[in-house]
Structure 1
Amino acid sequence: MKLFAPAFFILFFGANMPLRAQHLEQMTKHLYQPSDLKKDINWVQTTLEREHPNLYLYISKKKLDYKFDSLRKTIVKPLTPIALYVKLLHVISSIGDGHLKIELDHAKLTPQDIAILKKPLLQHPIYQFDYFVTGNRLFIAKNISADPAILKGTEILSINHVSAARLIDSLNRYITADGYNTTFKKYLMNHSGLFAERYRFLFPEQKGLDILLESSGNRWEIKLEAQQKKAFDSIGVAMLPSAEYRRLTVDSNIAYIKLRHFNIGPEYGGYQDIFADIQKRKLKTLVIDLRGNPGGNLVWPARFYSHLIDSPKYFYRLPEEIKKQKQLYNNQKIRVWVDKMSKSAFELITLHPFTFKGKIYVLIDGGTFSAGSLLAANLKALKNVTFVGEETGGSKNVWTALTLKSLSLPTSKLLLRYGTLPAFFGDITRIDGRGLMPDVEITYQIEDKLAARDLELDWVLKDMDKNISGR
């Protein structure tokens, strides 16, 4: 499943194994000539220039051309597709579009490939810890190495004599995000294992890692060697339910709705039953948890929104609004798109028969992305709403998605995924490349992570107690 693809490839490409399977061997062993690889780079560049409407929103054409030219100059010897993948990532991430990705096409895995994944594999040493990134500091969140004496919460000061701060900064440049946002990258490092994955791609050698650790004022160095481990088995991994609804306590009047994602099929009934129960119980406060919501089908955030508005609304800025914004309308591709669109092409979200009118808290973080961030941006316009958490990973004003294309590069067979339609919402007079900022900012430390604290929800409960006491 797409949501679990990063974990799938973390263990898969951390392996040094005898390959007899088709796609794995092509990706990790087969060498292609520089001339053919440069054709792939040219193909990526011309495809984006032709089809991506917001290509130069956060980077100038001159700078992006320079990056592609510089990349071509580095291709001086035969490389594998996985090596080209790493090089392309660095350029793609500079564009500032979180929906734009170079990926390994796991749909091409054969039964033989899957069989290899179930065997014990020699894995890169970096995979012996789970990591927690906060600011420019790196901690061990879980120890799965052969040394049980290394405790969770131990800080990693350096790996192979490169400081943790420098590593975090370097690896961030190989993760795509909207605009200048950094919380989405941090979220992926902490929740999808991308710290280990990106490290493995940049430093693929299987030799041991010299790691400097610190805990309780003591420093010491360890050496991690590659280990034989069973690979990740994606079969049977189920996606969590899209929505969870409950009262925070049995006797409370606080409704809690966790919206995990909007990857929902047409058979889903919607949110009517949830809001019907809120209406029946006359609950006065609603907590909407959008943390970690990566988006999905845009139908469902719109339907959820219909239970909260007091008048019909549009999710997006209409063509006539965009025409007034010169920064956008002067863009030839956007002008063509706007001029052929009419107001009737945009769905007007009408009120549901029951709409919630009480106090609303919205929990957000760097994992609030795509349709998740779109819902958050629209909720910002409602009255009596407080946002708690950190800056959303998705832009609060604009992103490029809606219709997504997936195309295979001619030589390497890597996958280029990109949106072809711009979506404008929020304040389109300021395309600042940041996510939605919380009213109350929450920052997690390693102690909070290890104790499994929910600081956002704790703050909401304290705020409600304070308001009750005040009354």
Structure 2
Amino acid sequence: MIKRRFFRILLLITTASLAACTSVKEYNSTITEKKHSVQALRQDIDLAHQILKDGHPGLYWYISKKQLDYKFDSLKKAINEPLTTTQFYQKLSPVIAAVKCGHTALRFPSVIVKDKVKRETIKNKVYPLSQFTYAVNDDKLIVINNNSKNKQIKTGNEILEIDGLAPKEIFNVVSTGFSYDGYNSLSKNKRIERNFANLYKIYFSEQDSVAIKFKTDSAVINTFISFYDKKKDAEAKKKLDTAKAIAKVHVKKVKETLKHRGNKVNGEYQLDFKFLDKEKDIAYLKIKSFSIPTASFPQFYKQVFDSISLSKSKNLIIDVRNNPGGTLSASLSLFAYLTDKEFVYLAKPINNGGFSADKYATGLKKLRYYLTAFNDNGNIYEDEEGNFFSFMKGYKPQKPHKNNYKGKVYVLINEFSFSASSLLSANLKGINRATLVGVETGGGANQCTAGRMPVVTLKNSKLALRFGLNRMAPIYQQDLYGRGVFPDVEIQSTLKDRISNYDRELQWILTDIKGKG
């Protein structure tokens, strides 16, 4: 037995050494050009299925084992010719999505570029469809912002075709692999809006220039949008701004007082706080993500609630619209400021026991698995019923923050409020602490899978499977299974509102506050 293990380890070391020598060019060819054999693709299908069975704690919440097995088996039978990684992705991703878990998805691999000059060139290249922000409404693609050189296209214009394809055709293709929490697919349009350029590139291979047909109020226009170099544009803008600054009278800079909120993302802070009235009676806290590496959530919250306490604000609006989630600690820490009682934030984080992504890897990672049997066992416990679970903060009773807020709380939610933002909303609703305004959250009200999120690369296609290892559930459960957190007041901005930058949901809250003032 020992001898056999020794030879296995020796073989793995040799394999790992050879793999390290494999050229980047070969890897890139594997994911861009190479057609994988039928046998190789079927191996990846079996591997993906096995990984989910081994590690996913909610694999059969919304689909039976029989149904899911049938989908994997049917896909294997349907693979009867070699496919590229892109073609295989389009076939496997809908099967993964059938699990109905928003945290479980297939990732498309990125090309590796070692040359620094080429990497910088690609980094600064703004592809045509990345030069716009969009709204998707009734299968229509509407331009909200135009950052291209072509200024014919205005806010509110409808795009009729991209390289001869109607948006509805594009939507039907790119959305087949979307993973939702349970039976709620309301986030489909938001997902397309936020990731349209990347989705198009995966499914239709966006080029350096695309033909766009769009409609104005008075005409249908055909045009081309080409890529541009954002570094060169930034340098040109800097020279222009410098010239303007020289011509202006010197103005003393005002030191920014809001600290700890991290860097901007796409020109916008993900954490923001302000008062919406002169009297400072209405405080507004925007959290677009609970995962911001450059931010300090504890320090930011302290500053926010110190300001609210000092101003004696009677109303607090928390905006978690378009917040896809993030860390449990950032969500829990905020909740501690919103209650004056001891609380339990999280149900027992059930999992399948020790799971190691290295077990399914190759080369050095596989070697590590055999040498150390690396897994999560150090952080896994077993309860009286034989269930495995991980200890996480929030599973045990927590104390409210000493500077907790006691005024009126409103929470803005929408179909792209996921994971930690849904968990926050569900817990606030559970203790009747806030008025939720907007539409049903995309994240499940009763549960999702999160915690540690391994990413396992499939051996042949190099597609990556990502999912959560723990059942993450609020302590309060709603009766309607497989749906999101429902608002107390259902209201949503229209397309016309978005074009004119009118926030209908926020305006409802301000009107409600004035009516009760």
Q: Same fold (TM over 0.5)?
A: yes
Q: Is the CA contact (8 Å cut-off) linking 2:150 and 2:225 kept in structure 1?
A: no
Q: Is the CA contact (8 Å cut-off) linking 1:176 and 1:185 kept in structure 2?
A: no
- Say whether 1:444 aligns with 2:474: no
Distance apart, 1:255 and its partner CA: 1.5
Q: Helix, strand or coil for the counterpart of 1:82?
A: helix
Partner of 2:430: 381
Deviations 1:290-319 (A, max 9, x none): 112222221121111111123211112358
Partner of 2:204: 203
1:400 pairs, out of 445, 449, 453, with 449
Partner of 2:140: 137
Change (3 A) 1:362 1:39: same
Distance apart, 1:399 and its partner CA: 0.3
What TM-score, normalized by structure 1, do the two folds share? 0.78
**Aligned letter for 1:72?**
K
Distance apart, 1:22 and its partner CA: 6.2
Partner of 1:10: none
2:66 pairs, out of 62, 68, 92, with 62
Partner of 2:36: 32
Partner of 2:284: 256
Change (3 A) 1:146 1:283: closer
Q: Is the CA contact (8 Å cut-off) linking 1:388 and 1:456 kept in structure 2?
A: yes
- Following the alignment from structure 1 to structure 2, what is the Cα–Cα distance between the partners of residues 303 and 119? 37
- Say whether 1:243 aligns with 2:271: yes
After superposition, residues 158-169 of structure 1 pair within 5 angstroms as 164-165=167-168, 167-169=170-172
Change (3 A) 1:76 1:117: farther
- Following the alignment from structure 1 to structure 2, what is the Cα–Cα distance between the partners of residues 106 and 208? 21
After superposition, residues 185-196 of structure 1 pair within 5 angstroms as 185-190=188-193, 192=194, 194-196=195-197
**Aligned letter for 2:468?**
G
Deviations 1:163-192 (A, max 9, x none): 6456434433222221122233322222x2
- Say whether 1:316 aligns with 2:346: yes
- Say whether 1:114 aligns with 2:124: no
After superposition, residues 76-115 of structure 1 pair within 5 angstroms as 76-106=80-110, 110-111=114-115, 114-115=119-120
Distance apart, 1:363 and its partner CA: 0.8
Deviations 1:384-418 (A, max 9, x none): 52111222121111001112111111112222111
- Say whether 1:269 aligns with 2:272: no
Distance apart, 1:371 and its partner CA: 0.9
After superposition, residues 327-342 of structure 1 pair within 5 angstroms as 339-341=387-389
Alignment gaps of 5+ in structure 1: 1-18, 321-333
Partner of 1:181: 184
Alignment gaps of 5+ in structure 2: 1-22, 233-262, 351-381
Q: Is the CA contact (8 Å cut-off) linking 1:118 and 1:232 kept in structure 2?
A: no
Change (3 A) 1:268 1:201: closer
1:304 pairs, out of 327, 331, 334, with 334
Change (3 A) 1:432 1:108: farther
Partner of 1:287: 317
Change (3 A) 1:359 1:132: same
Q: Is the CA contact (8 Å cut-off) linking 1:86 and 1:201 kept in structure 2?
A: no
Q: Helix, strand or coil for the counterpart of 2:481?
A: coil
Q: Helix, strand or coil for the counterpart of 2:467?
A: strand
Q: Helix, strand or coil for the counterpart of 2:298?
A: coil
Change (3 A) 1:230 1:176: farther
- Say whether 1:462 aligns with 2:505: no
Partner of 1:16: none
Distance apart, 1:145 and its partner CA: 6.3
- Following the alignment from structure 2 to structure 1, what is the Cα–Cα distance between the partners of residues 112 and 479? 41
**Aligned letter for 2:71?**
K
Q: Helix, strand or coil for the counterpart of 1:354?
A: coil
Q: Helix, strand or coil for the counterpart of 2:156?
A: coil
Q: Is the CA contact (8 Å cut-off) linking 2:148 and 2:225 kept in structure 1?
A: no
What TM-score, normalized by structure 2, do the two folds share? 0.72
**Aligned letter for 1:269?**
P
Report how many aligned residue pairs link the two structures: 429
- Following the alignment from structure 2 to structure 1, what is the Cα–Cα distance between the partners of residues 398 and 69? 41
